[in-house]
Amino acid sequence: MLASKPGLLDEVRSRFAHVDSCPFEGERVFFENAGGALTLKSVVDSSARFAAIPDNQGRDNPASKALQAIIDRAKEDMRVFFNAPGGTFFVGESGTELLFRLISAACLGTPAGRVLGSTLEHPASRSAAARWAEVAGKPHVLVAHDDATGSIDPAHYAPQITPDTRVATIIHTSPVTGMGTDVAAVAAAIRGVAPECFIIVDGIQHAAHGRLDLAGYGVDGYVVSPYKMFSRHGYGVAWVSDRLAALPHDHLANAPGEPWELGTRDTGAYATFSDVVAYFEWLGAQVTEATDRRARIVAAGEAIHAHEAALTQAMIHGVGNLPGLADLPGVSILNGADNARREGLVALTVEGMPAPDVVAKLRERGIRTHTRKADHYSGNILRPLGLSSCVRVSMCHYNTEAEVARFITAMREIADGA
């Protein structure tokens, strides 16, 4: 746990903007990381620096060459960070936009056959697959996820994997349940029956929790939203395998290399992703003796996971003498209190109190959380559980046990008054 090394958590927190106060609301605990994580101060600096530079890539002047070198370096950083075997990284408008682009290219660029996904997915990939499967004249088959675990396994996909499954989508971590999927195992099950299938993964909720390893997944596309992983809003990052990159896709006619980027690139976006990678390397260096970049990133991911697991354990089972959520009368935890798939997120309900009221009461006590409603974003998860809403409490590795203690103290008051 990061907290066991003296001073480390303070050093971690000092690297982020607005760690304990909001410029609009004042002092608060930030447990709304699944809606957008805290931003690294280095990202804030890089954003301002690059926003002021008027130059563009591809010109014969030093500024242009410097910008190109920064983009090239960022792509190298992405390769190490994601452990990517070949393929191409590029930025787009958002995670959603990139999922639409990858999925449309895969649906349109493959022979007749099925498009396979699951009910666990965020509407970004579900909507893209539904739309582009229809345009391509392919059936879109959605397998049901497991309500008990709030996740999905190869066994759930298996009955619907056919040799003509051309495109498959997988969500790495649900932003509603907070539970992770074993992407490598699902991809292997798909490849076992449909080896040529284009497998596209929504990694948007997973990325902040570290432990990314494209070489181990055996997939063709992976998309993240950098504002959910300590960078900023305004861009998404995608990786496509060489075979997905080679499918017909939108690009300027006759453009050398048939790029996936559309239009002038924002060097600042790339630079801020390098800041994120540098942060992971720094964090890794605090918890391992290894000097290799990838080894440090892996170590950072393990430390992040262990710290978040300790925080969710404390939230559910208590801190010191304070009882945890599992022991508060009327409080229910979605998808099981002790679920090993959990990635920093606890979704809950309070009997007799609508989720928006719980969120408001937490806000009055200086704790920011969020309501998930059974709408087009979260209805796929909540409706089968018979819920119209839930409270989402989402943490990252910079959160502390003291913040958790404050939260469960507030929850006890709220549950007592329910």
Q: By CB under 6 A, name the binding residues for ligand PLP.
A: 94-96, 122, 124, 171, 175, 202, 204-205, 225
361 or 368: CB nearest ligand PLP: 368
Q: How far is CA 388 from the centre of its chain?
A: 24
Residue with tokens 């999925």: 103
Phi-psi map region of 364: left, alpha, beta (phi>0 left; psi -120 to 50 alpha): alpha
Q: State the CB neighbour count (10 A cutoff) for residue 213.
A: 15
Query: What is the number of other CB atoms lying within 10 angstroms of the CB of residue 386?
Result: 8
Contact 123, 142 (CB under 8 A): no
Residue 21 and residue 129: Cα distance in Å, rounded?
39
Residue matched to tokens 């509407």: 123
| Per-residue b or e along 140-150, where b marks 16 or more CB atoms closer than 10 Å to that residue's CB | bbbbebbeebb
Residue with Cβ nearer ligand PLP (32 or 220): 32
Q: How far is the CB of 214 from ligand PLP (least distance, A)?
A: 17
In the complex, the smallest distance separating the C-beta of residue 285 from ligand PLP, rounded to whole angstroms, is: 29
Q: How far is the CB of 234 from ligand PLP (least distance, A)?
A: 10
- State which amino acid sits at residue 223: V
**10 or 93: whose CB is closer to ligand PLP?**
93
Q: Which residue, chain included where needed, has tokens 């305004």?
A: 234
Least distance in angstroms from the C-beta of 261 to ligand PLP: 17
Token pair belonging to 68? 């190109």
Please, what is the minimum distance in Å from the beta carbon of residue 42 to ligand PLP? 21
Q: Whose Cβ is closer to ligand PLP: residue 36's or residue 336's?
A: 36
Q: How far is CA 392 from CA 30, 314, 363, 368, in A?
A: 12, 16, 13, 10
3-state secondary structure of 240: strand
Nearer Cβ to ligand PLP, position 95 or 284? 95
Pairwise CA distance, residues 418 & 414, whole Å = 6
Beta-bridge partners for 173 = 180
Q: Which is nearer to ligand PLP, 95 or 210 (CB)?
A: 95
CB of 217 to ligand PLP, least distance (A): 16
Number of residues that make up the chain = 418
Least separation in angstroms between CB 173 and ligand PLP: 7
Nearest to 11 by CA among 303, 292, 255, 295: 303
- Closer CB to ligand PLP, residue 70 or residue 391? 391
* Least distance to ligand PLP, CB of residue 240, Å: 17
> Which residue, 2 or 374, has its beta carbon nearer to ligand PLP?
374
CA nearest 370: which of 221, 178, 128?
178
